[in-house]
Amino acid sequence: MRIDVISLFPEFVAQCAAFGVVGRAGERGLLSLHGWNPRDYAEGSYRRVDDRPFGGGPGMVMLIDPLRASLAAARAADPAPVKVIYLSPQGAPLTQAKVRELASRERLILLCGRYEGIDERLVQAEVDEELSIGDYVLSGGELAAAVVIDAVARLRDGVLNDAESAVQDSFEDGLLDCPHYTRPVEHELGTVPPVLMSGNHADIARWRRQQALGRTAQRRPELLDEAALSKADRRLLDA
């Protein structure tokens, strides 16, 4: 998969994606990241990428032309169809379902704003989708782009050692994940639930499902409204 990032700080995004499973995906050629800096496409000796907002008010707005030229260069670098995403607090919330959809694509361009944001005309003309990573405001889109890259890359074939582990994660089936334990069995902080050492796979699966249901009911009850629950799930929830 190829992801192009348009940002005033493309190295920052590359650094965020240089560690752990996502970093290894890059080393193994499963993910190729390319940064494009609008400043490299800006005119004049100051290489200006922003200007004051029409109508007055605080802050600066990113200029159309350096962004447009960066986008054109990124698009031209690979002929595969590409979706252009602007990371924005005004975008649709990023969900695991959206991440799965993005991970099924071969190319993405992630556009990172700074200052007060990007001239709206560029957004209207070039952007396919706006995505937000939460209801708060960051100083730039780079961290949001890094979040998208991380969440998407780990779903690509071959990136995780055990692809099953992604399927069991929170949100994949509409529920939060169950709790996890490892050695030692006995610790001053507590004992591992005995069912996990029973060797009975059906009991373990039932316990995990019940934990996932209980946690979801307790922490994110609204998720249960959308989750496809079976009769057995309802019984576990009521137990």
Residues flagged as binding site for S-adenosyl-L-methionine: 113, 133-138
Q: Tokens representing 227?
A: 């989750």
Question: Which residue number places its CB atom closest to ligand SAM?
Answer: 113
* C-alpha–C-alpha distance, residues 136 and 144, integer Å: 11
68 in active site:
no
- Residue 148 CB, shortest distance to ligand SAM, in Å, is 9
154 in active site:
yes
* C-alpha–C-alpha distance, residues 155 and 166, integer Å: 7
- Residue 114 CB, shortest distance to ligand SAM, in Å, is 6
Nearer Cβ to ligand SAM (90/191): 90
116 in active site:
yes
Nearer Cβ to ligand SAM (150/233): 150
Nearer Cβ to ligand SAM (26/141): 141
53 in active site:
no
Residues in contact with ligand SAM by CB under 6 A are 87-90, 112-114, 116-118, 132-134, 136-141, 144
Residues annotated as part of the active site: 89, 116, 154, 169
